[in-house]
Amino acid sequence: MVAPLLIFLVAVALVFDFLNGLHDAANSIATIVSTRVLAPRWAVFWAAFFNFVAFLVFGLHVARTIGTGIVTPSVITDQVIFGALMGAISWNIITWLAGIPSSSSHALIGGLVGAGVTHAGWGVIEWSGLGKTIGAIFLSPGLGMVLALLLVLMVSWFLFKRHVPPGKVDNIFRHVQFFSASAYSLGHGGNDAQKTMGIVTALLIAHGALEGEFHVPLWVILSCQTAMALGTLFGGWRIVRTMGSRITRLTPFQGVCAETAGSITLFLATSLGVPVSTTHTITGAIVGVGAAKRESAVRWNVAKDIVVAWFVTMPAAGLIGAFFYWLYGAV
């Protein structure tokens, strides 16, 4: 018989996944909405579909990293998982209400580390897995920005040499953006949904409900992808405004470059099993296309606020996760 507590914690994990989709919907649709290629209500359906089917494209390396590579698997208990999930959920809600595009991924990892350390001390941290995740805080937005900048420069040069008129450029990239937005949503679903899969699978192993080597059951894959897709359907309109227009104004051409750069970064990270922040990645790409136009095209004060949120997310979620770990024990 499945323990009621296990069912409850799996449900909490799926709530986090739903909020992840809700919170990060802007990552997938901000550029295509801000360029007016798709209306918001259609953009969320578009993104939700590609978020859901991502498991058919990617392996499950990120899920393994989360389930076994952040804290020692043997210290994972119901109390640790509850603290981790509540730390991430609380921080997601706080930043969503404030319209700050912080990272759901790093909120989950911060919550897991905070609860794990509170449970058994600093020795439980798997520094190899956590180290590459922290490194991705810097590398993913940096790579997204550089790739976007290079794409803008190369495609602009090609269009200039071909003497393509600006009006035709806009029309061409309005069609191309359907493909770049799809690719980015696919990358988002492939990397982000796997984090919750890793948490649920670790929980199942801790309860003895899953035997053998670490592997993600099909029902866990489908549940997590569905929860994230549903969250995406509800959108994150406060954050869409920040991502799509407050950092820099985007044209369809710039939107395609930003999404393509973000997609390449996410595809690479997911194939390597690195849990990166989709928020960081697309923000870096948007800054890159804005800077390619001119430095003043980027609202650096908005970008600065987002960067501050990046650095605060993991420790803040860790502290909240530690608090909920203690609260669980007290109750």
Render pLDDT for 16-45 as a digit per residue (tens, 0 to 9): 999 888 777 666 676 777 777 777 777 778
> Looking at residue 90, what is its pLDDT?
94
pLDDT of residue 244 exceeding 50: no
**Residue ranges per domain, the chain?**
4-330
Q: Would the pLDDT of 300 be above 70? A: no
The candidate with the shortest Cα–Cα distance to 152, out of 281, 79, 78, 259, is 259
Give me the residues paired with residue 71 across strands. 125
Residue 186 near residue 260 (C-beta atoms within 8 A): no
* pTM, entire model: 0.85
- Inform me whether the pLDDT recorded for 62 exceeds 90: yes
Range with lowest mean pLDDT among 90-99, 141-150, 196-205, 258-267: 90-99
2: buried, middle or exposed (CB in 10 Å: 19+, 13-18, 0-12)? Answer: exposed
Q: What is the pLDDT of residue 118?
A: 96
For the chain, give the longest Cα–Cα distance.
70
pLDDT per position as a tens digit, 265-287: 999 999 999 988 887 888 888 88
| pLDDT score, position 304 | 67
pLDDT digits (tens, 9 = 90+) for 123-178: 999 999 899 888 887 788 889 989 999 999 999 899 888 888 877 888 888 889 88
The pLDDT tens digits for 8-24 are: 999 999 999 998 887 77
Give pLDDT, residue 29: 72
**How many whole angstroms separate alpha carbon 321 and alpha carbon 325?**
6
3-class SS of residue 261 = helix
30: left (phi over 0), alpha (psi -120 to 50) or beta: alpha
What percent of the chain is predicted at pLDDT more than 90? 40
Model pLDDT, residue 146: 92
Each residue of 208-223: pLDDT tens digit?
888 888 999 999 999 9
The confidence score (pLDDT) of residue 23 equals 72
